[in-house]
Amino acid sequence: MADLPDGTVSDPDEKIMRATYRALGDDGYADLTIKRIAEEYGKSTAAIHYHYDTKDDLLAAFLDYLLDRFVETIHEVETTDPEQRLDLLLDKLLVDPQDHQDLLVAVLEMRSQAPHTPAFAERFEANDEYIRFMLKTVVDHGIDQGVFREADADHVAKALMTIVDGARTRAVVLDDDEALATARRTAEEYVTATLLKEN
């Protein structure tokens, strides 16, 4: 998961996204204000409003920013062998984020706002659908190639996503840095039980 090294960037939008990320990490969503973002940005609040008309606009853009980074890391998996590919995807979903607790916190905070913020809900739904599709596809390939057992690929994908989401929620809420590793093991057990052929 590409981190935010704060390598000097000239793009104001990028800078504001990073400032928002820092402000959100420090204060939490409920206390996230334009003023705080402006402070992190090192400019006035009006400077923020110059780039984004409203706070809602900024937050929608910020969510796109977060989810884009997130999808990028998934794309790093290029292996095509189903069994190996599924393993690597699960690693990306459950091992990589280990060092980016701040990111997990920020994302969960925005997730919890989805029911009251349609702009958020749309984005999270699209993102979920996309990753679930990748999982379903690799399961389908595995079945077609005869390396996985006949299984309900759609359900397996949903089950794995549930484990991933549960792990992230627990990592954040319980401040448990073993939550992801535990879930990685659980996912492995689930894959073994439902997909792998005994031999």
Partner DNA sequence: CGTTTTTGACTAATTAGTCAGTAAGTACGA
Partner DNA sequence: TCGTACTTACTGACTAATTAGTCAAAAACG
- The SS3 assignment for 117 reads coil
* Contact footprint for its own copies (CB under 8 A): 27-31, 105, 108-109, 111-117, 121, 124-125, 128, 155, 158-159, 161-170, 172-175, 179, 182-183, 185-186, 189-190, 192-194
Which of 19, 24, 34, 171 binds DNA (CB under 7 A)? It is 34
Helix (H, G, I), strand (E, B) or coil at 148: strand
Question: In terms of CB distance, is 43 or 170 closer to DNA?
Answer: 43
Residue of the chain from 1, 12, 61, 83 that contacts DNA (CB under 7 A): 12
Residue 44 binds: one of DNA, its own copies, none (C-beta under 5 to 8 A by kind): DNA
192 binds DNA (CB under 7 A): no
CA distance 96 to 99: 7
Contacts 24+ apart (CB under 8 A), 136-139: 138/82, 138/85, 138/86, 138/89, 139/82, 139/86, 139/195
Residue 125 binding target from its own copies, DNA, none, CB below 5 to 8 Å by type: its own copies
Q: Which option in its own copies, DNA, none does residue 146 bind, with CB closer than 5 to 8 A by kind?
A: none
Determine how many CB atoms are found less than 10 A away from the CB of residue 193. 9
CB 156 within 8 A of CB 139: yes
CA distance 50 to 44: 10
Q: Which residues bind DNA (CB under 7 A)?
A: 12, 31-36, 42-47, 49-51, 53-56
